[in-house]
A and B are shown apart, each in its own frame.
Chain A
Amino acid sequence: MKEEEIFDILDGLASEETIIRHQALLINDEAYRSLFQEYADTHALLEAMPMEKTAVNFTDRLIDQWELSQALVLERKPSKLPFYFLIGAGIILIASLLVVFSMSNLSTVQVDLNPTLSILRNKLFINSLLTINSILILKFLDKKFLKPYFEKKYHVSL
């Protein structure tokens, strides 16, 4: 008799032919009787296996956790803030550049500089420096004022 067939008998799924063989073996085969008894014992124990109970406040804790995870999702929704900030920063940058370019066309004073400082006459160099400075100022403002402000107001880590 195969083990699978023994469990079929225990589960009530065995065919009539298997049951007849099983009954014959129970009478005539001591080793089979002992093996069947062993499996039957385990089966009986498992059938009596009780359902475990959760802690009394399981559902309350679960609902709290669920609502908290929902709240986090809701708080994360207005994530357009960084987008608005970038638009604002872009506008300020463009405005700064426009001011810089318009001022650079108004140069009226001619100063003689020694050869090592002659690079300061290069418009491209000056404009690049001003642009870099503008970006650095914007970054500084963002880090020191804007970011802390938005984080505090919306409780969101940007």
Chain B
Amino acid sequence: MWHPINVKIKETDNSIIQRILSGDKSGYRELANRHKDYAFTVAYKIVGTREDAEEVAQDAFIQAFHALPNFNQEAKFTTWFYRIVFNAALMFKRKKNIVAEDITLSEAAQEATADTSNDLKTNEQKKYIQQALNQLSPDDVTMITLFYLKEQSLEEIAQIVGISAETVKVKLCRARKRLGEEMKRILGNEVRTLI
């Protein structure tokens, strides 16, 4: 017997924006739910603390909501929105001039080898990557975050950050090199234990 299959097509961001602009307020919530984690993660990687990252992400959403009537419907929402998040995080970082925490090499190495379970390993990874990211410039952090988290293309990253794709490639290469050096400085040869 043949059963019809209901295929639910995911509504595009631009279609949600059109609904919002025609007065459907529920669209704000949908947009927020769809992009909050990524916005928060980008902000977190740049500003370094969860509290500040939440503030930055909220601020970015409010800015984006206010600017929705001016959003070019031909463009990709995420590229436009991530640029707002990126700028909001940079502004916040400049204002607060966050001093990144440092840890001693020996403490880190000891903690890194202490646990073996998967959850703990993931937490260790997050922790040390974040510590290494805290030592990099916001530009470097942004390159790495955009490239690895949602696998944005070099062209998309270029649009978000406002530089050419070629420059993104060079900056990304340098950023990864610096991150590797930081990880090595923090963990020594223990980096492999985290993978």
Q: Do A and B bind each other?
A: yes
Could you tell me the dominant secondary structure of chain A's interface residues?
A: helix
Contact status B61-A62, CB under 8 Å: yes
Interface residue? B93 (CB, 8 A):
no
Chain A residue at minimal CB-CB distance from B195 = A44
Contact of A39 among B32, B44, B125, B176 (CB under 8 A): B176
Given A52-B37, A58-B40, A46 contacting B58 (CB threshold 8 A) = no
In the complex, the number of residue pairs spanning A and B with C-beta atoms less than 8 Å apart equals 94
Interface residue? B172 (CB, 8 A):
yes
Contact status B180-A42, CB under 8 Å: yes
Interface residue? B83 (CB, 8 A):
no
Contact of B191 among A41, A55, A59, A61 (CB under 8 A): A41
Given A4-B170, A52-B44, A46 contacting B62 (CB threshold 8 A) = no
Given A50-B126, A58-B54, A69-B62, A63 contacting B173 (CB threshold 8 A) = no
Q: In the complex, A45 Cα to B180 Cα: how many Å?
A: 10
Residues of A close to B125: CB separation below 8 A: 45, 48-50
A contact residues vs B (CB 8 Å cutoff): 3-4, 7, 38-39, 41-55, 58-59, 61-63, 65-66, 69
B contact residues vs A (CB 8 Å cutoff): 28-29, 32-33, 36-38, 40-41, 44, 50, 53-54, 57-58, 61-62, 65-66, 122, 125-126, 129, 144, 148-149, 169-170, 172-173, 176-177, 179-180, 183-184, 191-192, 194-195
Closest 4 CB pairs of A and B: A42-B180, A52-B41, A54-B40, A46-B148
